[in-house]
């Protein structure tokens, strides 16, 4: 019997998708994931071209991020720069990357396309631009993020391929502890219930530019020349060249170079890689030509600099692969793509001294027709430089010495390089970045990832979570995202985000994102760790004067968490020791100069802002007023005292533009004082509010009621910091009133006598510039004298309230001071003698200060006033405020127009302002509007400001007109307005660009 043929599965062809296997089923079948050895995607043509560029030219960085926030990239045609920045969108306050601003760097492009850009590490916001012929252009971005001014032009530079730049370096800025180093605020360690920052000093050594605010730019050319570009005290940039290597043939040409300042050997080093695969190390000394004196301060500003460079070759070797530790693929990798010098460093934790390291990168890309399944690879080679290494002698010399009966002397000592084990990575290295003051090395790869390695050991770091000891934001639960493929990567100064140049030529921004939990599901420990990491990074950014916009962008992800903003600012004040208690201050100078307090207020302002024409939160409104008050106090002070800085004994108050702007500040300030008085009067007439002042129990419910009404007036006068700013503004109004009155008296006397005016015809009334100045002073006098309240009486009201609060503090904390003093006198605490010259430590006073600081911070963060404040608030409303109201007209205050304050959160009022497009100029304090696309900006009052560009703050979207002028007074005052009142930078709006 013939067997029946059984059908086979393969006999029946299946539909196209029937053979697909669900990997989830495989996981279920075997109980674990199955690793699939899929061949990696082959490198694209654009990536191969980028790799060839890295191999052929040592300096070809086309994407860079400055400390002030400008992201510069070379345009695709190589003829211009594209300037970007991250900004909070005016419509909804979401953070993102701006559109590019195309800027032509020069009309002279005879040197070929731009090939390299590099930012200075200082606050001067200088950008070095290098073209294919090695010409160097230095641009300044001191005013706006996306507008530049040339500091040095390249027209006189030679056009020669032998001058092509193969290595660049900006000199380290002078450390804050001169000659020592800069503080590193990391890591942050959990101690019990709280975190504490472990601050160490990262040692740095020169040479430094004699001016602490400046740096110098070095570059190495392919024909072996070192060029240094530096600034004289008058700002003129000069060049100092020096020949490092005599090039006699094509084999001597330099392909890659690296420069560093070394703190251990107190000099600079230059590493050179030549076409003949040679690796050379050059030691360089720089002398600025300053007289040798015992004075270690900054040299006089008029002292001319005359720097000289001395260099000597110390080591020569080869970077060719060799040895037993190389991979089989290494024999074909004889092309260098990167070279880097890691200066010697001292680890205070381990007490180890890490030597100077020469680091190179060679990348392997398998050929497209390779029959093997090969992956791309990068091999990071390292050489340790030793200057006391024994030199080996030829055996013949040793025999010669023994025949002469010489004593066994030690072999001669000299510099040498020890090759260390290479690091092999299955990726293509696209960049090497020294971050965190050189303590961390960041490698960026073609797959969009970023890898961080320790400077001392080159071991990977920041790649795991540890909530007890946080050295970076990555260890607090954040990860860095990126594009699947990219050509270049730039890391932000805070390390909270990166920008990447994709293969399609687009630049994309990627902030870190939190991956431990969703914000709504975070535990208290996780939130505390996030706050600690943000505080640590903010403290470091404040120390290095770096932009913190991407930190705020990441923090906004958690803005919905309960008490997140309050907890973050509290940690900032505690760990950064920010002063918020000004209840004892009689002078307002220290309050206005407190830049860290401005940082806290800016944080609250940004987190409490939801976009233009949107209601602000309670803390957002409170901080907004504080920032504006501080800015106005600074502007009035600078304008009043600017004659010291200007030449020819002129004053900014002699120019109508300055007086007109100060008149606008007067109008805004007086409107705020009137609005504040009206708000307090409304509370005085509010029976429900007054019911909270009847007992301590009900007093604790008062703040919740104020929060529900978004009424900030009481907290503004109770907080000593904001009360101090209000008092400072009141006194500035009195000063401006006196100045305007004297100016008008002068004009009236001069016009009545018919005296000759240099600005107008003899015997006539003032005309021209003098007439404009006269009108400006008339406006100022009208604003200061037409106030609905008596500003001097309001200042007295604030002074009386401040005195009552100080007395209440003294009475409430008297017992606390006694207990602290008694505890300090215990026998266990008597064995801690103080240094002879140390200030006396009073435990009672310190305890009172801590308690007052806690109360003041609570008020600043819109918390409930302490229970003892019940007596103060009762007296203020039922006695002092009632007395003040008898001297005013509450009806006029109630019906006054406060639109310029932008404080009305009523939906109808917001909709009306949105429809009109009204905004307030941050400098002039007048309403301006932005017309439809294609139109120009114009003042709402019809001042005729057509064709005037606008500047917009990238953090809070405040705007102001950018008025170019050659007058010294307004130029001087505007130079103090480089930053917004919130501390962020401005960017110019393009023609026809709408705000929201």
**Distances from the Cα of 513 to the Cαs of 30, 537, 551, 553, 910, in angstroms?**
33, 15, 11, 10, 33
Give how many domains the chain has, as a whole number. Answer: 1
pLDDT of residue 298: 56
Q: Which residues contact 50 (CB under 8 A, 6 or more apart)?
A: 430, 487, 488
Residue 104, judged by CB atoms within 10 A of its CB (0-12, 13-18, 19+), counts as exposed
The answer to the question of residue 946 being in a domain is yes
Number of other CB atoms surrounding residue 819 within 10 Å: 12
> Which of the residues in the chain have pLDDT under 50?
1-39, 294-295, 323-332, 391-413, 758-767, 830-832, 835-836, 838, 933-945, 995-996
What angle separates helix 843-860 from helix 791-812, to the nearest 10 degrees? 130
Cβ density class 375-396: b for 16+ within 10 Å, e for less: ebbbbbbbbbbbeebeeeeeee
Instruction: Please give the share of the chain, as a percent, with pLDDT higher than 70.
Output: 83
Please report the DSSP string for 970-994 in residue order: HHHHHHTTSB-TTSPBEEEPPTT--
CA distance 641 to 795: 23
Range of the domain at 958: 907-988
The answer to the question of residue 297 being in a domain is no
The answer to the question of residue 959 being in a domain is yes
The answer to the question of residue 716 being in a domain is no
CA distance 489 to 65: 10
Which letter does DSSP use for residue 468 in this model? S
The answer to the question of residue 966 being in a domain is yes
**Distances from the Cα of 665 to the Cαs of 479, 688, 767, 901, in angstroms?**
45, 35, 25, 11
Question: 417 with 358: CB under 8 angstroms?
Answer: yes
The answer to the question of residue 444 being in a domain is no
pLDDT of residue 670: 97
pLDDT of residue 445: 97
In the block, residue with structure tokens 């064709």:
947
pLDDT of residue 562: 86
CA distance 520 to 557: 11
CA distance 454 to 458: 5
Q: What is the pTM of this model?
A: 0.89
Q: Which residue in 593, 527, 591 sits closest to 565, CA to CA?
A: 527
Whether omega for the bond prior to residue 442 falls within 30 degrees of 0, making it cis, is no
pLDDT of residue 264: 85
Q: Are strands 507-514 and 478-480 parallel, antiparallel or unpaired?
A: antiparallel
Segment holding 777, helix H or strand E: helix 769-785
Joined tokens for residue 433: 């970045």
The answer to the question of residue 337 being in a domain is no
The answer to the question of residue 915 being in a domain is yes
What tens digit of pLDDT does each residue of 730-776 get?
A: 999 999 999 999 999 988 888 777 655 544 333 334 445 688 999 99
Backbone angles phi, psi at 317, to 5 degrees: -150, -155
Q: Which residues contact 794 (CB under 8 A, 6 or more apart)?
A: 673, 677, 730, 884
Joined tokens for residue 577: 């020791």
CA distance 279 to 270: 11
Whether omega for the bond prior to residue 187 falls within 30 degrees of 0, making it cis, is yes
Joined tokens for residue 358: 């020469």
pLDDT of residue 764: 33
What tens digit of pLDDT does each residue of 232-247 get?
A: 988 899 999 999 988 8
pLDDT of residue 779: 95
pLDDT of residue 196: 96
Please report the DSSP string for 170-207 in residue order: EPPPPPSBTTTEEEEEEEEEEETTEEEEEEEEEE----
Which letter does DSSP use for residue 834 in this model? P
């Amino acid at each position: 019997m013939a067997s029946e043929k059984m059908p086979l599965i393969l006999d029946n062809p299946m539909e196209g998708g029937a053979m697909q296997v669900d990997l989830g089923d495989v996981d279920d079948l075997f109980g674990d994931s199955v690793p699939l050895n899929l061949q990696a995607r082959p490198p694209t043509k654009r990536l191969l071209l980028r790799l060839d560029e890295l191999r052929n030219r040592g300096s070809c960085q086309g994407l860079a991020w400055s400390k002030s926030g400008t992201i510069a990239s070379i345009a695709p045609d190589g003829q211009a720069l594209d300037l970007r920045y991250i900004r909070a969108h005016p419509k909804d306050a979401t953070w993102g990357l701006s559109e590019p601003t195309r800027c032509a760097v020069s009309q002279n492009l005879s040197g070929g396309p731009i090939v390299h850009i590099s930012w200075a590490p200082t606050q001067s916001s200088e950008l070095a631009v290098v073209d294919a012929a090695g010409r160097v252009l230095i641009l300044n971005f001191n005013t706006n993020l996306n507008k530049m001014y040339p500091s040095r032009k390249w027209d006189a530079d030679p056009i020669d391929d032998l001058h092509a730049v193969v290595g660049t370096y900006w000199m380290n800025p002078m450390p804050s502890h001169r000659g020592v180093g800069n503080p590193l605020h990391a890591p942050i360690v959990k101690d019990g219930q709280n975190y504490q920052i472990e601050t160490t000093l990262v040692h740095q050594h020169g040479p430094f530019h004699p001016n602490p605010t400046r740096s110098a730019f070095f570059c190495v050319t392919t024909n072996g020349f070192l060029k240094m570009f530096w600034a004289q005290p008058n700002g003129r940039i000069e060049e100092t060249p020096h020949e490092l290597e005599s090039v006699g043939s094509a084999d001597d040409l330099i392909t890659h170079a690296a420069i560093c300042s070394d703190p251990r050997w107190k000099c600079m080093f230059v590493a050179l890689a030549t076409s003949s695969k040679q690796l050379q190390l050059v030691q360089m000394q720089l002398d600025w030509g300053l007289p040798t004196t015992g004075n270690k301060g900054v040299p006089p500003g008029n002292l001319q600099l005359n720097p000289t460079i001395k260099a000597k070759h110390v080591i020569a070797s080869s970077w060719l692969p060799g040895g037993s530790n190389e991979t089989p693929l290494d024999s074909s990798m004889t092309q260098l793509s990167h070279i880097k010098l890691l200066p010697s460093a001292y680890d205070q934790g381990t007490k180890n001294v890490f030597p100077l390291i020469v680091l190179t990168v060679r990348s392997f890309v398998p050929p497209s027709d390779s029959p093997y399944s090969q992956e791309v690879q990068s091999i990071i080679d390292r050489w340790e430089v030793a200057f006391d290494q024994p030199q080996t002698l030829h055996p013949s010399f040793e025999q010669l010495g023994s025949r002469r009966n010489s004593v066994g002397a030690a072999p001669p000592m000299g510099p040498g390089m020890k090759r260390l084990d290479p690091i092999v990575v299955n990726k293509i290295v696209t960049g090497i970045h020294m971050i965190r003051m050189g303590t961390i090395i960041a490698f960026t790869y073609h797959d969009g990832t970023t890898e961080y390695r320790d400077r001392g050991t080159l071991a990977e770091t920041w790649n795991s979570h540890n909530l007890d000891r946080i050295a970076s934001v990555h260890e607090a639960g954040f990860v860095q995202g990126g594009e699947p493929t990219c050509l270049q990567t730039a890391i932000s100064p805070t390390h909270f985000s990166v920008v990447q140049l994709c293969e399609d030529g687009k630049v994309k921004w990627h902030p870190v994102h939190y991956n431990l939990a969703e914000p709504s599901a975070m535990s208290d420990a996780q939130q505390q760790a996030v706050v600690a990491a943000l505080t640590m990074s903010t403290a470091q950014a404040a120390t290095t004067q770096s932009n913190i916009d991407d930190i705020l962008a990441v923090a906004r992800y958690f803005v919905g968490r309960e008490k997140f903003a309050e907890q973050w600012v509290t940690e900032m004040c505690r760990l950064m020791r920010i002063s918020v208690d000004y209840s004892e201050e009689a002078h307002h100078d220290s309050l206005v100069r407190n830049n860290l307090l401005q940082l806290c207020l800016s944080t609250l302002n940004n987190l409490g802002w939801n976009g233009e024409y949107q209601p602000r939160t309670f803390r957002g409104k409170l901080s907004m007023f504080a920032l504006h008050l501080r800015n106005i106090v600074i502007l009035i002070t600078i304008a009043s005292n600017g004659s010291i800085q200007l030449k020819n004994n002129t004053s900014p108050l002699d120019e109508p533009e300055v007086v007109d702007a100060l008149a606008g500040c007067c109008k805004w300030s007086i409107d705020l004082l009137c609005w504040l008085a009206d708000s307090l009067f409304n509370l005085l007439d509010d029976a429900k509010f007054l019911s909270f002042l009847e007992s301590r129990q009900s007093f604790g419910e008062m703040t919740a009621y104020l929060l529900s009404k978004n009424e900030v007036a009481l907290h503004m006068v109770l907080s000593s910091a904001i009360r101090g700013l209000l008092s400072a503004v009141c006194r500035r109004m009195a000063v401006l009133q006196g100045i305007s009155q004297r100016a008008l008296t002068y004009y009236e006397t001069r016009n009545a006598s018919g005296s000759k005016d240099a600005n107008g015809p003899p015997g006539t009334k003032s005309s021209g510039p003098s007439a404009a100045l006269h009108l400006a002073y008339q406006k100022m006098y009208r604003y200061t004298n037409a106030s609905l309240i008596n500003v001097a009486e309001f200042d007295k009201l604030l002074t009386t309230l401040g005195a009552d609060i100080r007395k209440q503090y003294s009475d409430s904390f008297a017992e606390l001071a006694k207990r602290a003093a008694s505890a300090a006198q215990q026998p266990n605490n008597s064995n801690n003698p103080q240094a002879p010259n140390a200030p006396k430590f009073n435990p009672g006073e310190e305890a009172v200060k801590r308690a007052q600081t806690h109360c003041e911070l609570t008020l600043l963060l819109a918390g409930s006033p302490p229970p003892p404040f019940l007596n103060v608030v009762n007296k203020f409303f039922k006695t002092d405020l009632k007395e003040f109201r008898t001297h005013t007209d509450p009806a006029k205050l109630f019906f006054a127009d406060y639109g310029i304050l932008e404080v009305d959160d009523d939906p109808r009022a917001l909709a009306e302002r949105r429809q009109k497009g009204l905004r307030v100029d941050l400098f002039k304090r007048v309403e301006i509007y932005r017309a439809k696309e294609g139109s120009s900006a114009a003042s709402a009052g019809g001042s005729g400001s057509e064709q005037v560009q606008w500047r917009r703050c990238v953090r809070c979207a405040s705007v102001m007109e950018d008025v170019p002028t050659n007058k010294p007074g307004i130029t001087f005052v505007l130079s103090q307005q480089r930053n917004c009142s919130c501390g962020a930078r401005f960017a110019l709006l393009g023609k026809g660009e709408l705000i929201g």
